[in-house]
Amino acid sequence: MSKGNIYVVSGPSGVGKGTVVREVVEKNEKIVLSVSATTRQPREGEIDKVHYFFLTKDEFQKIIDEDGFLEHAVYCDNCYGTPKQAVLDKVEEGYDVILEIDIQGGIQILNKLPEAMGIFILPPSYKVLEKRLRGRQSETDEVVKKRLAAARNEIKQSYLYDYFVVNDELELAVEKVVKIIEQNR
């Protein structure tokens, strides 16, 4: 059995990364999502160990000290990291693994693992991005403003990625991502 590939999927907060990747993994059973660790508080409906490993700062630091993350980054005041062994095991088992992570972590992975590929999800416009971010109603106005400011910088650095997908019509964006992954097998 051949090994799977690692895909870094990034894009500004609210662009729809989570929505797109959830549908991608439903369409193909050989594509799986890496579950990240974070120090941020769970949103309503988020389940520990399913959506994230929700950790305290001390627990997060312990994993850093043990070199247990493939990458980690601070995004808008919270820590996020990709557990290393779980990803490497899935790749060995032949699964394509999606890391839905911010661009700082994404660039760390693309530099560290040259075989990994980057897919950057773009909004159709900044206006639509703001509408989606506010429409999710999961962040305060202050956090929304911070995330929108971060979006401009993230898009500037997106040239380091291999593929670009505009998430306008959800179904089309999902199909594009599935096609990219399948064509690299």
Binding site for ligand ADP (CB under 6 A): 11, 13-19, 132, 135-136, 167, 170
Spatial CB neighbours of 160, under 8 Å, sequence gap ≥ 6: 106, 107, 110, 118
* Interface with ligand 5GP (CB under 6 A), residue from 82, 97, 116, 123: 82
96 binds, among ligand 5GP, ligand ADP, none (CB under 5 to 8 A by kind): none
The values of phi and psi at residue 78, to 5°, are -120, 155
Q: Find where tokens 């660039």 sit.
A: 107
Residue 167 CB, nearest approach to ligand ADP (Å)? 5
Q: By C-beta, is 79 or 129 nearer to ligand ADP?
A: 129
Binding to ligand 5GP by residue 73, rule CB under 6 A?
A: yes
Report which secondary-structure segment, H or E, holds 175.
helix 170-183
- Judged by CB under 6 A, the chain residues 23 through 52 that form the site for ligand 5GP are 36, 40
Q: By C-beta, is 150 or 178 nearer to ligand 5GP?
A: 150
39 binds, among ligand 5GP, ligand ADP, none (CB under 5 to 8 A by kind): none
Q: By C-beta, is 13 or 108 nearer to ligand ADP?
A: 13
Binding to ligand 5GP by residue 13, rule CB under 6 A?
A: yes
Spatial CB neighbours of 114, under 8 Å, sequence gap ≥ 6: none
Spatial CB neighbours of 64, under 8 Å, sequence gap ≥ 6: 72, 81
Which among 19-27, 57-65, 73-81, 177-185 is the span making contact with ligand 5GP, rule CB under 6 A? 73-81
Residue-wise DSSP of 46-107 = --BTTTBEE--HHHHHHHHHTT-EEEEEEETTEEEEEEHHHHHHHHHTT-EEEEE--HHHHH
Q: By C-beta, is 62 or 179 nearer to ligand ADP?
A: 179
73 binds, among ligand ADP, ligand 5GP, none (CB under 5 to 8 A by kind): ligand 5GP
Spatial CB neighbours of 151, under 8 Å, sequence gap ≥ 6: 12, 13, 14, 15, 126, 129
